[in-house]
Every structure is written in structure tokens, then in C-alpha cells.
Amino acid sequence: MFAQIPKAELHIHLEGTISPETLLTLIKKNKIQTEIQTLKDVEKLFSYENFMDFLKAFIFVSNCIKTEKDFELITSKMLEELVKQNIVYVEPIFSPPLFVYQKNLDYFKILENINLAYEKFKNKITMNLLIDLVRNCGEELGFKTLELALKSRKFGVVGINLGGDESNFPASIFEKHFLKAKNEGLKTCCHAGEWSDFESVKTAVTKLKVDRIGHGIRSVENEKFLDFLAEKQIPLEVCPTSNLKTQTVSSYENHPIRKLYDKGVKITLNSDDPTFFGSNLNNEFEILLQKGIFNQTELLEILENGFKFAFGKPENL
């Protein structure tokens, strides 16, 4: 039933939407030396059992992107797929460091190409971009990326995010970055409480003062903090299949999403890296319904939260 209802997706990585077909196109076009040549090979690449294999696949896919123009293809394919799912509003996360600092691609040309693709879909879906500072890049490069984000509002950038290695690069390193972003009118999100405990979420909320938390599921470890999250109405972008596939949780039934909801924490449902996890937003809603974790009314409320906690709203539709 959720396929027919207009939806918003707030946590989806642009690079994590590259489909097997698009990957093969990129491999061929960019003459990538690899054994991956058929859809079957890609299927194998995407069938991992742990986080390290997922990471390897993600890095391989990212390395198949060689030009700024590739982002037009990737964005186009992503938007095509989202429109098929009746998603009318999306905030993709783009992580520039690998492409801009390592591969020397032009950041603004990448954004131009993302927007070229968006032009063709504007009457069906509204897109606002979030720029990921990437924890592993550290404080200094983080500032560089923030400066880029601040200069790219005309390309539809509305905020920043913080992904990457949560265990070794605590959010506190990025306090100044996030406060500056907020001061200058950007919205802020931070992945937290996925690989590290609830303290990581607490730092993101109390020090970085973020508007939304990516995942945040380990907040369940502390009852007092859950009350705080509920009281402050800081929404979590929950991505159940992602958590399952990276073994952060052992099953849908054991996912803390129900407890978070029951505690009054605001939940949005998202797909994270849909092609890598063999899922999509419709699927996330259907699974939670089928497994009896939420009923239809509750899921419609969660769906509505996607619009309520978005940093913009659907336009020109």
C-alpha cells in the first residue's frame, strides 16, 4: 500500500544509490580494470555478510566514478528510481572528500552535473542536498568541506551531515564546524548511535546541536537520554535494513525502532544505501508492516514525519 502514497526520503547517500546496471555502465565507460563484468558479478559484490565487505563494495563503487559528468548519470538514475517509488521529496547526502581531495574532481562541476539531472525531474520530485564532512577526514579537511558547503546554496545545498568512522572519530572533533554551519543558516545532521553508543548521539545533540540524527538507534541504551530525545523532539532517521545488513542489529524483530517509537522519540524511515542493501523506502515500510512491528496508522504517522522533519517541502509538483 505504501507504494501509492507520496513519501519523503531524508537519509539516502547519493553514491549508495548506484544500481548494478549503472555500475556496469560506469565500469565500461571509465574502462575500470576489474573482474566485475556482468550483473551476476555485481550481485556477488553486493551480497556481503559483514560491515567490512559492505565498506569494500562501497569503496569499489565509488572508485568507478571518474568524472564530474558521472554524477549526472548517477543522480538521474537515483531520481528515476525514487519517482517510481512515489517519493516526492528527497535530501541526498553527498560526500565530496574522496572525489574532490583524492581524485581532484571539481566540486562545483559535480554539483552542476547533479543539478543538470535534477532539472529533468523537478516536476516530479523536489531535491535538497546535504554535504557530508566525513569524520575520517579529520578537523582540517572538515573545515575545507564546510567552506565548500557554505558556498553551494545555489546548487541546492541546504545542510551538512557527518558520516564515516563513528568509533574512531568522535563527533566532538566537529563541534566548531557544526556551530558555524548553524550560525550561517545551514541545517545539520549527524550519523550517530550506529557504530558507537548513546553518548555519541548525546554529543551530536548537545554539542553539535544537530537538527536530526542519522540512525541514533543506540539511544535505547539509556532511558534518561531517550526521555531527553523525546522531549526535545529531535528526529531520528532510522534505516532498519541497513542496520540489519551491516549487522548492527540481528533481525527486524530485534531492531529498537519500536522501543524508540513507544518512548515518544520522533522517527522517520529511510533507506540509507538502497542498492547496497537490496532495499528501498517502500520496502522499509512494507517490511515493518508485514513483521507486525507497526500497524498501518503508526506507519502513516512515521511517513508523515518524513515531511514534517524535512528541511524543505515538495515544490512544483
Q: Which residues bind Zn ion (CB under 5 A)?
A: 272
Using CB atoms within 10 A of its CB, is residue 32 exposed (0-12), middle (13-18) or buried (19+)?
middle
CA torsion, points 72, 41, 45, 82, in degrees to nearest 10? 40
298 is catalytic: no
Contact assessment for residue 220 and residue 260, using Cβ atoms and an 8 Å cutoff: yes
Closest distance between Zn ion and the C-beta of residue 215, in Å?
7
- Report the residue number, 45 or 93, with the smaller CB distance to Zn ion: 93
The one catalytic residue in 194, 223, 286, 298 is 194
Q: Which is nearer to Zn ion, 93 or 226 (CB)?
A: 93
| DSSP tag of 271 | -
Q: What's the closest the beta carbon of residue 15 comes to Zn ion, in angstroms? A: 11
The rounded distance, in Å, linking the Cα atoms of 317 and 302 is 22
Instruction: Give the Cα-Cα-Cα angle 291, 43, 271 (nearest 5 degrees).
Output: 40
Q: How far is CA 229 from CA 144, 200, 208, 232, in A?
A: 31, 13, 14, 5
Nearest CB to Zn ion, comparing residues 91 and 272: 272
Decide if 95 contacts 15 (C-beta within 8 A).
yes
CB of 242 to Zn ion, least distance (A): 7
Contacts (Cβ under 8 Å, ≥6 apart) of 278: 46, 241, 245
Nearer to Zn ion, 70 or 272 (CB): 272
Smallest separation, CB 192 to Zn ion (Å): 11
- Catalytic positions, written as ranges: 194
